[in-house]
Structure 1
Amino acid sequence: MPEYFIVVPKSLNLEQRLLKFPPNFNYSKDFFYYYIAGIIRESVKKHTNENTEINSVINQFIPRSSVIMQGIFRKSKNHVDYLYEDFFGEGRLLHRKNYEPGQCFSYRLPEYYWGDGELEIIKITENTLVRNIKKNNKPTIHNMVDKRFKFLRGYFNLKLFEIDSQAALKDLYAEYKVSGNYKKYLSNVLKVVDFKNGHFPFYHRPNTDGRLHTAITSFPKVCRKHLKYDNEPLAEVDLSASIPFFLSYILNLTVKEAQPMIYYIHRYITITYYPFIC
């Protein structure tokens, strides 16, 4: 069965609303969740200030193209109108900013549905919807990464990765309650759900650290202990402290002397550290 994971606020009372005010059309609960999750994701992308309160994150309207939504789900208009409808005693699930020339309808989630801001992961399984979502959300790989580091992608079998997402979200929320950095909390939760969806990006930053970054190296540190590969926990080994030593030693050697030393260092690292890295 196909599946796709999204993030919504824990205090969202969608199922209660559907029972109390059933739509007058054949609805998809999965699409309701997907649409709301999309607004949350775009809110994180638009808000650039990391040190922010919850109200600052959600008090912005996110443009949503009806053409794109209909390409993902044919009956999207009825669903969006239902989310905007103001039911007595329940209010609206979404606030809307009207259409303007050059600007499509924009939506935001009311702050009273966020509570204290805790998020949860929801699994959607509707076959056609999941297939269309994945078709429209394929991870892109930068040309430089594809040309220079394509061989590395073969070492990752995404089907062998596992994550205890519930434990990861619990740790992220505990971290947020201490730091108060809601933007970071939102961003890290989305990294967890992207990992569950098999999005494994590769980044190369030649103008900064020059390193190749993956979904693991950019994964929240507090959550890395919840990752497994081939049913084995991942272990982190940091060799950065040894780099200045080896570099200074090699630079003090002549080119002729350096060759055997480089070979020796390579052999030493391979024999000593390879079992721990794997």
Structure 2
Amino acid sequence: MSKKLLSKNKTARKLTRNEKHRITIANLALIPSAIKNYIDTLVKVYRPNFKYKLKVEFFYYIITTIIKRQNTYENKALENISVALNATILRGIKSDYNEYINWLIEQEIIFKAENYEPGRSSNKYCFADFILQSLKEDSSSEIVEMEALESDTVIVSKSIQQLPVYKDNEHLLKWFDDKLIIDFQGAKKYIEDLSYFEGEIFDLTQKKIRWNHQISALHYKVFYATRNEESDFRLHTGLTSLKKIFKPFVTYNGQEIIGYDLKNSQPFFMIFLIDSIINNNDIINKILDRIYNKNVLSSFMLQKICKCLSTEGFKEEYMTFKNWVLDGRIYENMTDIISPDKHLGRYYTYKYDERLKYKVRETNYSQRDMMKGVFFTLLFCGVKTKDKHYHTLKRAFPNLVELIEIFKMKKNSDFSKLLQNIESECIIDYVTKKIAEQYPEMPLFTIHDSVSTTVEYGDILKTLMPRYVYEYTGLMPKIEEEKWKMHDYQTDYKKQVELHPEWYAYNGY
């Protein structure tokens, strides 16, 4: 035979001492029907001969984990990107996990990326071309249960309320219930009709596969939540991974949702970080201890930071930079330093991609969006980057960039992790908890630096969010309102044609 075949919620309880050392996974997962049917058929025909008893659910777990990781924020612009799997978690679920991965590779369901370097990088996996083609033909999904994977080392939670993350984040996670609805048929139809996305007209097939999975997870109530103290400490849910084009289809208890974004959030929390170090703020000291090795931090890193902060050059640069941020016009002011190329109504710049090791062209319709990307490069790229805009900013703000590079001295990702931890503690653990204490009946959802509720409570959120951000940081933020129902991204294509017909004629559209 050819290979080419294609719960009820429970209240949270306190974990016992033994359970705290066990791995917790969600019982319900969403897997594309094409992949599940293919695996089921192959298991019957070419049944694996593993050392221990076969559990087909572990195949599903590996597949759904790859899909989740491909849908994360940092991978949003990529297609079938190869992603790493957590070997510690896999080993905790099944000690013979490599046999399952190798079998999936042998059956041409997934394949291992070739950029693995022993001791320097993890194995990464993505889907084989045959599977991608199958997903194009059938985008439907099925709910699968993982209860069979429960063991002495694995806890299978029956609901989001039983996840370890729920207790400390109940004020946000309790709203993931039957009242959180997505217009599934409307969203599916929208995906089918979508031809224009983020400034380009091209084949959206692979993006549509992933988008169908996102809306299906919300529709079938396959809720999940994670928050890793050793990583960005952000609360990740089905809404944080949901593409913004689907916000108009989401309601809670039949009501539209309205959100408020913290404007220039990463530069804003960078200002809070610097002010807090200068003022020896205990909040920041605790977060710094979480991110950096205490010996490194206390021995020479803080000395370098303090030396940098004390120079007159830094103080002058910082005053300018801080005013830009608090005025809410940092990206607009950056155009005085960097002038991106403009052609036929669009802005172009070339960014050095650390992962790909070559320059890629980025396109935007506004200078502000372009400058935002340039600034994020400054915050999150490696100190040895070849990106020309990084070096332009470094010439304009040498002392400020020197400080940023000190935070990256051990690991490039440490600085981004630091700012994300600050953001998370501010928004998740302070702002939304304070609001929830005052208005326990108010639905609250977060997408990192954004807080949303139903329109009924919109004015309350608009008033309280900046108040509590100020209480936490001592800095007055600027927030932007976002009515989820107001978006019509497909119409944007018509607007762009009207505004820049010469570009579409030039490119043959």
TM-score higher than 0.5 here?
yes
- Give the Cα separation in 1 of the matches to 2:171 and 2:225: 13
Q: Percent identity?
A: 14
- Give the Cα separation in 2 of the matches to 1:27 and 1:14: 13
- Give the Cα separation in 1 of the matches to 2:225 and 2:141: 18
1:31 maps onto 2:58 in alignment: yes
Change (3 A) 1:8 1:83: same
Q: Which runs of 5+ in 1 are unaligned?
A: 50-55, 87-91, 202-213, 228-232, 248-278
3-state DSSP of counterpart to 2:190: helix
Candidates 126, 130, 133, aligned match of 2:147 = 126
- Give the Cα separation in 2 of the matches to 1:157 and 1:44: 22
Change (3 A) 1:216 1:43: closer
- Give the Cα separation in 2 of the matches to 1:69 and 1:200: 17
Candidates 1, 15, 32, aligned match of 2:40 = 15
3-state DSSP of counterpart to 1:104: coil
Aligned to 1:95: 111
Q: CA deviation at 1:164?
A: 9.4
- Give the Cα separation in 1 of the matches to 2:123 and 2:224: 31
3-state DSSP of counterpart to 1:27: coil
Aligned to 1:197: 223
Change (3 A) 1:129 1:97: farther
- Give the Cα separation in 2 of the matches to 1:21 and 1:40: 24
Change (3 A) 1:193 1:31: farther
1:62 maps onto 2:279 in alignment: no
1:161-172 to structure 2, matched below 5 A, reads: 161-162=177-178, 169-172=184-187
Change (3 A) 1:195 1:80: same
Q: CA deviation at 1:188?
A: 3.5
Mapped contact 1:195–1:215 kept (Cα < 8 A): no
Q: CA deviation at 1:97?
A: 2.3
3-state DSSP of counterpart to 2:76: coil
1:48 maps onto 2:76 in alignment: yes
Q: CA deviation at 1:154?
A: 9.0
Mapped contact 2:57–2:148 kept (Cα < 8 A): no
Q: CA deviation at 1:9?
A: 2.5
Aligned to 1:78: 99
Q: Name the count of aligned residue pairs.
A: 202
- Give the Cα separation in 2 of the matches to 1:110 and 1:18: 18
Q: CA deviation at 1:121?
A: 3.6
TM-score of the aligned structures, taking structure 2 as reference length: 0.33
Change (3 A) 1:121 1:65: same
CA RMSD, 1 decimal: 4.4
1:140-151 to structure 2, matched below 5 A, reads: none
Aligned to 1:107: 125
- Which string of whole-angstrom CA distances, capped at 9 and with x for unpartnered residues, describes residues 133-178 of structure 1? 659974479xxxx7xxx8x8299476xx32798x855443322112
Moved more, 94-103 or 15-24: 94-103
Q: Which runs of 5+ in 2 are unaligned?
A: 1-6, 9-25, 198-206, 228-236, 257-453, 464-509
1:178 maps onto 2:193 in alignment: yes
Aligned to 2:254: 234
